[in-house]
Chains A and B, each alone.
Chain A
């Protein structure tokens, strides 16, 4: 079968993917965007607090600038972020955020009518721009609106959307990405796509954990597909646990609550963060890794609330009552709605029960400051990528910024590569310009047949494993053994158990064998991605014998710059994860003890 050809393909319809597609179109390159869900259903929509840019619009932000933003980001990362990448992000933040306003993003405003900014954890100035507590929703709609606009003015199918398609394989030939295999979820048919350049912007892998703020679609499949094709995953052990997720559903309760002045209270009604050295000064606006650890410690020392029947319900309280109804209604209306709908609590009158939960994957597909990977023609952006701008711990408000800045960068570089005006900074094996995709059809057709066989073998399997049982065990394992506090024994045991789960995956079966609109088949394909990405997380965490940012090892409690000021690279192999390391780009900011 002849593959479907597009000049470039973006995989993922969240903020990074949409921004990349727009950039390609603005540079007059045709693009197809493949998304597992309709783009407006992407997980970006759930982002709440805001997007950082040193605009200096806040009265206390007068002396803020990109350099201070860069310093806060590098310090927040526990010095593992690449400083050139951070500086690029914080410099370009201003232009990108203004551009979003020009495209119609409904930012909240200050008294002068400028974009309003609020304080966030780990930031020296109030620099988080926001749209109430639904900033992700506002940004995703704004970018999608531009996509609609570009499609309406497209005369020659310059922007094509493939909604509800799952990419199952990336095809690499001679170190170059030549195409993809995608599953149309509605029809159940697989197709091969041929292209010059691919941008993966598929988001995080939070659903590997049980308690997570992530959407159900964040399975890690988008990281696994390039990983299976030989692209390493970087710094996967750094998992961000958000301090405040709603007990029960683990829906995100934005850091904006604390930025606006909310208190964290233990069961004696004390603001317990003052008891801990690393949060005694900054209290509720300390960085997320610190607060998550201190909440967990407080609970372990008996300061939490607990339902005896359910040990997973242990929590502390987030109190907003003193902010008053007006402020809650105007700036945190989404939080109030979540609390009322999902927990029957009105934060105007009652404190919110919160506990830490998985929130963000700092790691991701390895790429450089130009969003290029080790495979020519493959670019990555957003949470799926690891540039790295977040290092060992991400600051609130920097994830949305990363999607917009590096979505643009990826689009620009993919456009230049496709137009043949650049070879990219990854050295080409031959040193010549990339050839056009010729005679690749047979290779793509073989890959298509191989994927079809894989699906048939799942559907025809008469094994006895229910895939949902494997996922539940994976979730539990990651919660218990690869959580906020880690040690060698637990991690080794986790690695063994992952291998057992991978083995059991080979005998899964479904009781529905049709291909058409088979959602269970989609979840099963993605479960394999979750298992393999989880293995990379555990292997990285076990090998990193130090505590840095979000990774806290109870058996190695100090940061160890001598041995571990380096990025972890995890390569996929049939025998398991192969680890390698890569230098951190330092520069302007000398690594120091991270004190707040």
Chain B
């Protein structure tokens, strides 16, 4: 007989309209399938135990970036974190960091998006062939690998020690995208791009702590992108 095990989800709760301060609430979630994910656990809580729990989700396959949160001491995606990969019988879940709480794990990402938009995240190209594609060699295209995979989930932004202390800092995700367009052989706005990040709260704020690299669920390295931009500026 399969023994029914349970695992405790200790979840951050806060409704700014009703609660004077945040608190943690513990829920028991049955752990019967070995591939149970943290996101599935949260849905069990929301659907079967407590309809009030708020969190975002969409693709459940680690490509949309909706369900980033702080799980047992590290940032990650709830959908691709297997409960079995976590140590102990208790999982502690908090929302993304340095962001205002709308409710529970549902945070206000507007400042994060504003910074992404600030770096002009679109190709600026002054010469276009009329009826065919621009050519790009394998090696030119390869420079985009590891940059275009960013899902803008906010893990790097939340784990960064500089965004913690300096609200205005553009942060690792926005700067990764600045570098993505800078290194694209098709982009004609190199100087403009460098000027955008060559500001007090741009690349120079980065202290190369590499939390962003460590926390990235797609194994990308925003810190090295920032370093690349710094090198071009020197």
Contact = CB atoms under 8 A, between A and B. Distances in A.
A101 B58 contact: no
A466 B46 CA distance: 11
A514 interface: yes
Contacts of B117: 148, 151-152
A104 B141 CA distance: 12
Given A466-B48, A512-B51, A109 B138 contact: yes
Interface stretch (A81-89, A499-507, A516-524): A516-524
A421 interface: no
A148 B35 contact: no
B64 A468 contact: no
A108 B139 CA distance: 11
Nearest to B77: A341
A342 B121 contact: no
A216 B47 CA distance: 14
Contacts, number: 156
Contacts of B134: 101-102
B148 A186 contact: no
A389 to B, nearest CB: 24
B31 to A, nearest CB: 15
Nearest to A252: B61
Contact of B120 (A113, A152, A517): A152
B234 interface: no
Contact of A338 (B53, B61, B104, B132): B61
A520 B35 contact: no
A186 B52 contact: no
Contacts of A466: 47-48
Contacts of B131: 95, 98
A144 B4 CA distance: 46
Nearest to B128: A102
Given A41-B64, A43-B59, A341-B80, A109 B141 contact: yes
A337 B122 CA distance: 27
Contacts of A111: 138
A40 B64 contact: yes
* Chain B residues touching A, range: 35 or more
Contacts of B50: 511-512
Interface string A505-537: 000001110101111100000000000000000
B64 A517 contact: no
Contacts of A134: 63, 148-149
Nearest to A47: B63
B35 A41 contact: no
A249 B80 CA distance: 10
Given A517-B106, A519-B54, A41 B141 contact: no
Residue of B63, B65, B82, B149 with most partner-chain A CB within 10 A: B63
Contact of A101 (B122, B133, B181): B133
Contacts of B216: none
Interface in B118-163: 120-123, 125, 128, 131-138, 141, 144, 148-149, 151-152
Contacts of A103: 122-123
A417 interface: no
Interface of A: 37-38, 40-43, 45-46, 95, 98, 101-104, 106-109, 111-115, 131, 134, 137-138, 141, 145-146, 148-149, 151-152, 186, 215-217, 248-249, 251-252, 309, 334, 337-338, 341-343, 466-468, 510-512, 514, 516-520
Interface of B: 2, 15, 17, 35, 46-48, 50-66, 80, 82, 102-104, 106, 109, 113, 117, 120-123, 125, 128, 131-138, 141, 144, 148-149, 151-152, 181, 184, 186-187, 218
Closest 7 CB pairs of A and B: A104-B123, A113-B135, A468-B47, A512-B52, A520-B51, A145-B122, A517-B103
17 contacts: A41-B58, A43-B64, A104-B186, A106-B184, A114-B135, A137-B149, A215-B59, A215-B64, A216-B58, A309-B2, A334-B63, A342-B80, A466-B47, A467-B47, A517-B103, A519-B46, A520-B47
Given A43-B59, A148-B121, A248-B35, 8 more contacts: A38-B66, A43-B64, A46-B63, A134-B149, A217-B58, A342-B80, A512-B52, A517-B15
